[in-house]
Structure 1
Amino acid sequence: MKTNKTLLASAIAVFFSGLASTHSALAQDAAQEEYVEKIAVLGTRGTPRTVTDSPVAVDVFSGEEFTANGNTADITDNLKALVPSFTATPATGDGSAFIRPTSLRGMAPDQTLVLVNGKRRHRSALVQFFAPAAGNGAHGVDIGMIPSIALKNVEVLRDGAAAQYGSDAIAGVMNFQLKDDSEGGSVVAQFGEFYEGEQSWIIGANAGFELGRDGFLNVSFETNDNEALSRGIQRADAQALVDAGVPGVGADSPFGDAPFVQSWGRPETSGTRVAINSGYDLGKAGELYLHGGYADTDGRYRFFYRGPDHSTLANVNNLPAGYTPYLDGAQKDTSLVGGFKGETGNELMYNFSVGFGKNELDYFLYNTVNADLVSNGSAGQRDFDMGGYIQEELNFNADFGMPLAANMYLGFGAEWREESFTTIAGEPNAYFGSGTSGLAAATPIQEGVLDRDNIAVYADLEYDMSDDLFLQGALRYEDFSDFGGTINGKLAARYNISDDLVLRGALSTGFHAPTPGQTNITTVTTTFTGNTQIDEGLLRVSNPTAIEYGAKPLKEEESTSVSLGLTYSGFDKGNLAIDYYQTAVDDRIYRTGNIQTDSGQISFYTNALDVEHKGIDVVYTTSFDWNVAETKFTFAYNYNTIEVTGQSLVNGVKPVGDDIIEDIENNYPENRFVATTVTDIADDYQFMLRANFYGEHYDERGRIGDTTSPTAKINSVYYIDMELNYFATNDLTLTLGASNIFDKYIDEIGEPNANRLSVGLQYPRRTPANYEGGSYYLRAKYQF
């Protein structure tokens, strides 16, 4: 097939160019100490890019490696540039413009558990309405609230782990470990500009302080600003107005890209993020610890254009060029975790903690019209407070561990968690009459709080059966106040075939509990097919109308995962890991298709789908010594397929249409790889070169093979990034970098394929590969 030939040729080219040029910052020299899947303690200095002594696939990145790229909106892009099985699509509309839809191994955003310092991080307030098909309806974590300068290392466990960590760990676990230095620090300033002219900047600082004789406080601060990108074209209907001499076409753009009446690309964003990490050693009495953060971010996204013949302008005289609403999303994010840990005289380890997290997302809609507020030919009020959502979580944990014998260790504990989802009504004028055009405001009827709590107990047994065989078993029971109990288990093993060759594997069950947000959310979404506006109401599953059309209380998604891998460390300065995985998810929570009622189109969430994910991960790391330089090289590859294997009927009808099923299975590329080289040249220079490859995939519009309006196949594409670091002094590092240096774009889509040209977008809207174009950046870092 063309796909495989393209992939193979690209992989070989990048591999040998990497061998001939420079090194991967993802590989480290020193050997990894024995690892028994305690993800919260990974990341010691000298850890390889991929841990070869673990029973499952784990990646470890230092903070410096993780942030070695520029002009990123937040750390979502950093993770995407390093882990080929992780994707993050461009901002796609409404709240998804501010909280990026992400995926690990093709699964939904809320099927990956996120930890900070080994503790569960709270969800965002957004239930994804405009994510790619595979992630639509998810309610996950926004990792973009974490400041990049605060990170000591990042760990990614690519395997089901719900039996150890609880709900959501179906695809894997990501742990963001914060810096814990008690002295010193750094200041960073970066300026970037895209080839098209848009600018961005970021300023950050980190410092460590001693607390008394035995404590530390580490504080991080970061603030940034990203101008909006405009990568679309002019709509034909707007161009006709320009040609007819109508004044002011596109002049209402907040991004300065007039006469475009619609803006496609990364939204305008800015924000301030703060993180703290602290601990105090009480000696034999134990250790107190505290970490947390605060973020205040803003984003702006432009909606679909309303031409002068739009229904809301039927009685309006002062908008001859039409209008385009734009949405502001304001987020405030707070987290705080504190605890006490230590060890008793009989080697019983204990760790008690309490954590609180809150994310608030407020919407403000500008430059729109409420047709029922039109007066005397004037559009009247144009800007509205649309209300918002709040997600809050409270966690209590008691974790214990003790050796049962010299070669056996038992971990056990309990957790209580409460989470609530709040809907905040907008201002009265926003929902008066027919309401504003572009986004429906939450109404007082929809306003309210829905919460639930759960309690969990778990046990985890690790057994070194011999020098060559390691076994692990885990069992977890959780009971939820809204849907009941669930039991999950895991068995994992590692066998040393030789000193260099290791066989590893795992079998586990997992789950994702329906969130209060998925159960409680209700709204109206607006989309366009061509110039036709389509409004659809999303109802709570408890709504009488939804129940009439088949809605039922949501229950947990259930998964079964199997993995089998080999690691080999017998190369000269090299390591290889190959892992096969298969995860079957039953009762995936998904939004139904449009259901026509007497009062209009409705939808609701239901346990709709059975989905199977299969794939292979390959990670190879090595290093080379030159006369005056040392090069390290990493090649990370992911092959992933998605198949919908079944549906649960709603009133005898499939809740998800065949077109959406096709998108779930084909919108993500099956093949992705990241190849990175980093070369240390003498003592003064370091050069990084990275290639990100995206294989063939399909657009979401149309149907594959359709004779009249087929879905476009998107050809493979690769992006090349580079950084040159100059160590001016022991404390000062100057960096010149570029992202997508060859200014590559994903395929444009036109006739005869189904396309979005009528609304001014020539690219696939939700492609995992972006259409931002090239950019460069300058960075200065001073360490003290």
Structure 2
Amino acid sequence: MGRLSTYRIIFSFFISLFLLGTAFGQTGKIAGSVYDADNGDPLVGVNVEVLDQFTGAATDGNGEYVITIAEGSYTLRITIIGYESVDKDVKVISGETTRIDFETNQTIAELADVVVVIGSRAQRPRTSTESVVPVDVIDIQQLVSQAPQVTVNEILNYAAPSFSSNTQTISDGTDHIDPASLRGLGPDQVLVLINGKRRHTTSLVNVNGTFGRGNVGTDLNSIPSAAIKRVEVLRDGAAAQYGSDAIAGVINIVLRDATDKLNVTTNAGSYYSSESEGDNDGSYENVSMNYGLPLGTEGGFINFTGSYEDRDPTNRMKEWEGQIFAGYNSTDPNYSGDPDADITDAELARRGQTRSDYNMRVGQAAYKSGSVFLNMAIPTSKTSEVYAFGGLSYRNGNSAGFYRLPYQERTVTSVYHNGFLPEINSIIHDRSFAIGIRGKAKGWDLDLSNTWGTNTFQFQIGNTLNASLEDATKTSYNSGGHGFTQNTANFDASRHLDDIMEGLNMAFGFEYRYENYEIIAGEEGSYAKYDKLGNIVTPNTPDSLIVRGPNGSARPGGAQVFPGFRPSNELSEYRTSAAFYADVEVDFTESLFGTAAYRFEDYSDFGSTNNFKIAGRVQATDDFAVRGAFSTGFRAPSLHQIYFNSTSTLFVDGIPNEVGSFSNDSRVAQILGIPKLKEETSQNISLGVTANLPDLNTTVTVDAYQIDITDRVVKTGTFSAGDGEDELAALLASVNATGAAFFANAIDTKTQGVDLVVTHRYDISEDAFLSSNISATYSETTQEGDIHSSPLLKDKESTYFDETSRIYLESATPRTKINITETYTRTNWNAMLRGVYFGEVNEATNNVDNQQLYAGKWVFDTSVGYKILNHTWLTVGINNLLDTYPDEAIKANQSSGRFLYSRRSKQFGVNGRYLFSRLSFNL
């Protein structure tokens, strides 16, 4: 799509927005206060909604609210997490103020009684236990105030068992954007929404040795937790409702909308662990602010959030055990031995060094980041409002690669006498903005919106060199980067009919999406390999001109740790998709509820797809219900998977290899018969029960599921030049690569599992209660059937989908997670104790003899909060109270002392005990 066509679409959208706003076109006031029914305290930040009208307010610091609205009769509803919702009728008279006060009781709300938005387009409110599919509602603000975790990925990893995310190490760009998954599926098989609108993914495709290899995810950490009101996790296939990617489920992030309330929070902490470098490492500081203002007198608002983070690295490497020096590195002028001999111990003694001086940095990356978010809505009439939300975030990360040792041809000792530890410095920008108008017209609820988002990732490589330039090399390079942009326009319409059975809701909508993926080349020295004359090496360069190290091996070109993108890698590709969707929800009786959804979507690059979903819920008794669903789904291969191409250094069993990633329309792919990518398809079935036990203050939900995925996209193993022909060898040499890898629809998978959620509340006294939450998941993914290798590679299935890839997919993250949380709350203080069980995982390796099972472990968190002043809370606590670590890797998996704990299979990280303090001001 040309730039002019894009501008026309955006211009047409804003014209439509204006026309719809003008189509919706003597007031009085409603005022009052909201109190805690137990102690009479005013409640701050309560949402006061005028039902069936797009207006409302939030209570201020004194628990008071004011709504200006046209004369008429209305119903008010108050909602706040942790309290019962209450409805009251009111009649507004022009020119007068009607006072309506509310009292509400505290209740269980963390995962049960909060009205959810995700999974339905109906206007009738339903709680997570009333929905036809499982939904977790996570009160982010409560967790941010009590739990040790601050970033969204960390919070969800400890709060929602079906969600999994960990920081990675020595994995290039993936050190800087944590891959996350739902129900053990890929990071690209869960859809993320913000306020119900599709969020863009990152521009990074994970190509190194981590869980989620070959996948593209969404950077949840680019959204500050201080901006989030709650997170809704829909644990069911929803592609028929929301489109591509929603195979495992949907995560909907609801932004804060409170007004007249200032919250400032500071966090500080560090890892005080038996494995820390020195007394502690990995220090973390965060300052965030959230403030909302009313706009006008009819319930409009704007809510701002600003956040800044500064995180130091951690290192859990013990000591390098392998070779460091060869004879040609000797500083002894009288040395006359074998120049290739290992003289490490003698040379360390001569230099007054230890093996630890040559350690890598194995742990979390360092970063500094800042973000600004807003959420706003302005009523334009009695029945319509304009809304907008969005944010800007910036992250500057720093991670390290493998140490380049003095004896290796990758090191030029005249530049780095003792070798060097190359660094990847990331510059990540994330921007998004959504705007829309919603309102009522002739009984229909209408919503027209446009959501734009973009992510860019630039690689600045430091403390490095281009070995083929030897002394002429620079020590830092711009290796280029990539970007991804998405623009989604939606029109939604829904209508509720009370006179059909017990109520019927019908909805339909249209979506048009534009996506663009680009790769930007780095500077020449970041990717080029030079000969002795300073010219770029080509397949025709004579062997006599190849630059070689002291050991006779050819020196590699490009920036060490991350060779730059070449001009031949550079591209800017786009695609569009158009969709129509419809769904109906019917209350057949007071105890029988059913839904059906259908979606047709057409992509400009691979054609169209049809998907449907049916679901139902039977209220068997007042306290017990059964629910179930069946759906088909799909995931379009991302533009990143279709077009990504580069050359990177991959370490296999500690040995560096230059591997080229080639797109499926490349000549290399054609030689090996690699077909073009097509969409993944899925079938999802779930069955569950819910129980509300009011006499026991307890809710229970249990949901079992099975997800079958066909033609799943994976990153293949590495094919060598010997797998093709002379032309393949020449093509690999032209990009300084010794092997080739691709994205391919290689396998089918089956995922089966069960989720359990139990919530309980015990009232200790009038001003104290204990909340108990138990949630658990078991999810098992297995490869089904044969590997879909190309006809030319029928004898190469073990490379097409290798053993490492199988383990990443099946068992590199815990199949079992259990969360038990106890929270004690009193007027001026609270306490939390949480235990999370992370189940066993397997070492991801192609060497069957070295495959290792790491046992499951419990990790405990605790915190205590106290109201030290009228508006000030101090919280202190510990993550990983017992300083628990995963099992140590066997010697064969430690890469000569580099990785005491598995680098590739993460259970819960390897940072150990974390101590923190938090100061929160609420004004």
Shift of 1:241: 5.7
Residue of structure 2 in register with 1:296 after alignment: 394
Deviation at 1:759, TM superposition (A): 5.0
How far off its partner does 1:246 sit?
A: 5.8
What are the residue-to-residue correspondences of 1:175-186 with 2, within 5 Å? 175-186=252-263
Q: Which amino acid aligns with 2:818?
A: F
Question: CA contact under 8 A between 2:112 and 2:129: conserved in structure 1?
Answer: no
Supply the distance in 2 between the matched residues of 1:41 and 1:365 (Cα, whole angstroms).
51
User: 2:199 aligns to what?
Assistant: 121
* 2:687 pairs with one of 561, 564, 574: 564
2:320 to 225, 229, 235: 235
Tell me the alpha carbon deviations over residues 121-172 of structure 1, each in whole angstroms, 9 at most, x when there is no partner.
0110101113634x21111211110011011111100000010111100000
Residues in 1 aligned to 2:116 and 2:311: alpha-carbon distance in whole angstroms: 40
Question: 1:339 and 2:432 equivalent?
Answer: no
Contact 1:530/1:759 (CA < 8 Å) preserved in 2? no
CA contact (8 A) 1:150 1:206 kept: yes
Partners of 1:445 and 1:37 in 2: how far apart?
A: 43
| Equivalent residue, structure 2, for 1:5 | none
- CA separation in 2, counterparts of 1:688 and 1:86? 21
**Pairwise CA distance, 1:691:** 0.7
Equivalent residue runs for 1:89-100 within 5 Å: 89-92=166-169, 93-100=171-178
User: Aligned runs of 1:430-579 on 2, under 5 Å?
Assistant: 430-433=526-529, 434-570=557-693, 572-579=696-703
Partner of 2:134: 57
Mapping for residues 87-486 of structure 1, pairs under 5 Å: 87-92=164-169, 93-130=171-208, 132-133=210-211, 135-195=212-272, 196=276, 197-198=280-281, 199-214=283-298, 215-237=300-322, 240=344, 244-245=348-349, 247=351, 259-284=357-382, 286-313=384-411, 316-344=413-441, 346-374=442-470, 378=471, 380-406=473-499, 407-433=503-529, 434-486=557-609
| Secondary structure of the structure 2 residue equivalent to 1:96 | helix
635-644 vs 135-144, which deviates more?
135-144
Change (3 A) 1:30 1:561: closer
CA distance in 2, matches of 1:736, 1:596: 54
Match of 1:610 in 2: 748
Closer/same/farther in 2, CA of residues 94 and 242 from structure 1, 3 Å limit: farther
TM-score normalised over the length of structure 1: 0.90
Q: Using a 3 Å threshold, how does the CA distance of structure 1 residues 124 and 39 change in structure 2: closer, same or farther?
A: farther
SS at the partner of 1:508? strand
Shift of 1:618: 0.3
Counterpart selection for 1:713 from 835, 849, 853: 853
Write the distance in 2 (CA, Å) between the matches of 1:101 and 1:146. Answer: 15
Structure 1 consecutive aligned stretches of length 4 or more whose deviation exceeds 6 Å = 23-26, 33-36, 40-44, 248-251
Q: Which amino acid aligns with 1:99?
A: I
1:32 to 91, 109, 113: 113
Return the match for 1:583 from 707, 718, 732. 707
1:17 is matched with none
- State the distance in 2 between where 1:715 and 1:194 align: 23
Deviations 1:282-315 (A, max 9, x none): 22351000000000111111100111111123x6
Q: Which moved more, 1:660-669 or 1:198-207?
A: 660-669
SS in 2 for 1:317: coil
- Aligned Cα RMSD in Å? 2.4
Assess, with a 3 A threshold, how the Cα gap between structure 1 residues 430 and 71 changes in structure 2: closer, same or farther: farther
Q: Is the contact between residue 114 and residue 173 of structure 1 (CA under 8 Å) also seen in structure 2?
A: yes
Equivalent pair of 1:610/1:644 in contact (CA under 8 Å) = yes
The separation in 2 between residues aligned to 1:323 and 1:42, in whole angstroms, is: 61
Asked if the contact 2:776–2:819 (Cα under 8 Å) also holds between the matched residues in 1, the reply is yes
The structure 2 residue matched to 1:673, chosen from 802, 815, 818, is: 818
Q: What is the CA–CA distance in structure 2 between the aligned matches of 1:373 and 1:107, rounded to whole Å?
A: 44
- CA deviations 1:516-544 (Å, max 9, x no partner) are 11111011222223442122110011111
Number of aligned residue pairs: give it. Answer: 739
CA distance in 2, matches of 1:758, 1:302: 18
Query: Which one is further off, 502-511 or 26-35?
Result: 26-35
Change (3 A) 1:43 1:98: farther
Shift of 1:183: 1.7
Unmatched segments (≥5 aa) in structure 1: 1-22, 252-257
Moved more, 230-239 or 586-595: 230-239
8 Å CA contact retained: 1:696, 1:716? yes
**1:645 aligns to 2:769 (yes or no):** no
Give the letter aligned to residue 204 of structure 2.
L
Contact 1:525 1:536 survives alignment (8 Å): yes
Secondary structure, in 3 states, of the residue corresponding to 1:236?
coil
The correspondence of residues 619-630 of structure 1 with structure 2, limited to 5 A, is 619-627=757-765, 629-630=768-769
Partner residue, 2:872: 732
Question: What does residue range 648-667 of structure 1 map to in structure 2 within 5 Å?
Answer: 648-651=788-791, 652=794, 653-654=796-797, 655-667=800-812
Q: Secondary structure at the match of 2:240?
A: helix
Please say which of residues 362-371 and 84-93 is displaced more in the overlay.
84-93
Distance 1:634 1:645 in 2: 35
- 2:566 alignment partner, SS class: coil
Q: Which runs of 5+ in 2 are unaligned?
A: 1-81, 84-105, 325-343, 530-556, 722-728, 733-737
3-state SS of paired residue (1:498): coil
TM-score (ref. length: structure 2): 0.77
Alignment of 1:636 onto 2:775: yes
1:721-741 CA distance string (max 9 Å, x none): 111110123411111111111
Q: Which has the larger radius of gyration?
A: 2
- Map 1:679-718; keep pairs closer than 5 Å: 679-681=824-826, 683-701=827-845, 703=847, 706=848, 709-718=849-858
On the 8 A contact 1:523/1:537 being kept in 2, the answer is: yes
Change (3 A) 1:605 1:250: farther
Contact 2:122 2:496 in 1 (8 A): no
**Which position in structure 1 is the counterpart of 2:884?**
744
Whether contact under 8 Å (2:228, 2:254) holds in the other structure is yes
Q: RCO greater where, 1 or 2, for CA within 8 Å and sep 6 or more?
A: 1
